[in-house]
Amino acid sequence: MTKFKRESRGFTLIELLIVIVFLGILAAIAIPNMKPYMAQRRLNGAVREVYSALTAARMQAVSENRWIALTIADNSHYKLFRDNNNNGTVDTGETIKTSDLHISYHDVNFSSSSGTVIIFKPDGTRDNTVSNNTLVLAGSAESKSITINNNGQVKIN
């Protein structure tokens, strides 16, 4: 009579429960530490989005040889528009694109007041008679600014 040796494969239920409890404890410790990091990432993402929109507006002004502007509509919306009559306001038929920061970055707002406008001339420079040179975005813990110098260069501060 031969004895069959039983091979044990896999994990027992107790071993699996210990691992699950251990992972739960690690998650409970790590998640609160991730909140400030995630808020900072959302602010950085929103700043990069607005920076890209400003850079694109400048390039579009040069390529189309016309005045292109970006205006802050409210605390989360901005509009990119062709300023056909060079008055610094969005008129009928001038809007190119309207964007909402809250779609991707729910806790980021413009600190700059509504109506703030950045205008790029056909040569890529900033119109400093009407437009501002700084946009400020605020997250839940900090804020960042984007400046546009008179030559039209856009920088994140």
* Domains, the chain, with CATH or none: 16-156 (3.55.40.10)
Q: Which of 114, 121, 120, 97 is nearest to 49 (CA)?
A: 97
Confidence of residue 6 (pLDDT cuts 50, 70, 90): low
Confidence of residue 5 (pLDDT cuts 50, 70, 90): low
β-sheet with 109-110: strand ranges across: 109-110, 134-138, 143-148, 154-156
The pTM for the full model equals: 0.80
Residue 75 has pLDDT above 60, yes or no: yes
Residues 81-120 pLDDT 10s: 999 888 888 888 888 899 999 999 999 999 977 788 999 9
pLDDT score, position 1: 54
Average pLDDT over residues 130-147: 89
Q: What is the DSSP letter of 8?
A: P
pLDDT score, position 95: 86
**CA torsion, ordered 56, 58, 62, 64, to nearest 10 deg:** 60
Q: Which of 139, 138, 137, 127 is nearest to 51 (CA)?
A: 137
Cβ(151)–Cβ(62) below 8 Å: no
Most confident of 6-15, 59-68, 123-132: 59-68
Strands (E), the chain: 68-72, 77-82, 95-100, 109-110, 117-120, 134-138, 143-148, 154-156
C-alpha distances (whole Å) from 134 to each of 34, 35, 71 are: 30, 28, 12
CA distance 138 to 42: 10
